[in-house]
Amino acid sequence: MVKFLALAEETTFRTAGTSWLYFKLLSESINTTREDFFPETTDYWTVSARSEGFFRTSGSFDTLVDPVIWPKLLVLFMGDPTASTIQGATAAYLHDFKFGADEVSTAATGVKAFTTRIGTGIEKDRQVTGCVIESISLEAVAREVVSSTISIIGSGDESLIAAQTSSNVETGWALYTQPYLTFAGATVMTVGGTTNAAGTVTGGVDRLVTDPTVEAFRITFTRGWDADHYVLGTRFLYDKTLSGMASVEGSMDFSFTSQDEHERFLAAVGTFQAGNQTPFSIQLKLVGAVAAGAYYYTINIVLPEVTFTASTASVSARDRIVQSVDFKGQYATTPDCAAWIMVTNVATAYTALA
């Protein structure tokens, strides 16, 4: 019996998957609640006043970002890659994930439901069917390993099942054959400019070398689900139903050695008066070890149309000032998304997740 978290794609909502994908877990806080009924009547002390209600599951887990296993979460959350292209005559492939366009939750290639299995190291494993990802956050901070937080909601249909063997879990973990991505792997951090149909950002400023230089980058992709889609006759969430908006939000920390990004927040760089802000692009490229030939393991995040929503550069005694900015991404007709994540690795496809 071991501590682990595993996900398995479901063909039918709330029918447990069988092909398990094991994640090296930092922490998890996934819990099921029951919402029973205690109706108030004129009888001030009623025998059997409690009535059975319904179940919900929600929570999150934290994991490190590696360039082969972590993208499988993107498949569950965003659907299959819009394209997977071999790179040269090598074993490397480029996979394109687009978020904030026309995703669907019904097609086999669309946003997917999955079963969550949690091993706690005692007795039986916990298993929850009918789960979907509500948000994925990625955090790249100076002097740290790149990490990710995945928030999920589930149908509430939880059961205790026979504990997974340590050999099966270790076999799943063996898929982690490449180094984790770290802050030192940031090779591009561009703010400003525009994005073309090929996902290339031009005209921006390199904030790795040009003041104010970046110290931290955080981004969260969120989509709306109808967490109240319950029907007569079942105590669990009925189906995975998209509802509401998708959003792209995040923040960056800059060494406050230049006011350029505060000027961009006010209106534009070189402008010193609050006014209309022109949307711009943001690009973060994280590069790891060699994947094949001249190609490296890479996660390249491009936000084609972004605006700053806050800029804070507070003074505290004689401490060094760090500027924090919040940003929000919008859908851009070119390149037809709110975020484009380009992953280079040695996976030929992501049609089979395990």
In a domain, 351, yes or no: no
Give the residue with greater pLDDT, 38 vs 153.
153
| pLDDT tens string 69-90 | 999 999 999 999 999 999 999 9
Above 80 in pLDDT, residue 138? yes
* 216/122: higher pLDDT: 216
Highest mean pLDDT among 30-44, 165-179, 281-295: 281-295
Q: How far is the CA of 124 from the CAs of 1, 118, 121, in angstroms?
A: 8, 9, 8
In a domain, 339, yes or no: yes
Query: Which residue type sits at 12?
Result: T
What's the pLDDT at 47? 65
Global pTM reads: 0.95
131 touches 150 (CB < 8 A): no
Residue 23 is assigned to a structural domain of this protein: yes
pLDDT classification of 49: cutoffs 50, 70, 90:
confident
| Number of domains making up the chain | 1
Question: What is the mean pLDDT of the segment spanning 142-170?
Answer: 96
Q: Is 353 part of any domain?
A: no
Rounded Cα distance between 277 and 279, Å, is: 6
Residue 83 located in a structural domain: yes
Inform me whether the pLDDT recorded for 51 exceeds 70: yes
Q: In which domain, by residue range, is 77 found?
A: 3-37+51-345
Residue 245 lies in a domain: yes
Domain-embedded: residue 42: no
Displacement of CA 189 from its chain's centroid (Å): 19
- Identify the pLDDT of residue 226: 96
What Rg, from alpha-carbon coordinates, does the chain have? 23
Query: What is the band of 218 on the pLDDT scale with cuts at 50, 70, 90?
Result: very high
Q: Which two tokens stand for residue 314?
A: 């507070």
Decide: helix, strand or coil at residue 166: helix
Give the whole-number percent of the chain exceeding pLDDT 70.
98
**Each residue of 229-280: pLDDT tens digit?**
999 999 999 999 999 989 999 999 999 999 999 999 999 999 999 999 999 9
* Average pLDDT of the residues in 157-178: 92
State the pLDDT at residue 236.
98
Binned at pLDDT 50, 70 and 90, residue 103 comes out as confident
pLDDT band at 320 (very low <50, low <70, confident <90, very high): very high
Specify the range with the lowest mean pLDDT, choosing from 119-123, 319-323, 345-349.
Answer: 119-123
Count of other CB atoms within 10 angstroms of residue 53: 13
Give residue 162's Cα distance to chain centre.
Answer: 30
Q: What is the structure's pLDDT at 21?
A: 94
The pLDDT of residue 92 is: 97
Res. 1: pLDDT tops 90: no
Q: What is the pLDDT of residue 46?
A: 63
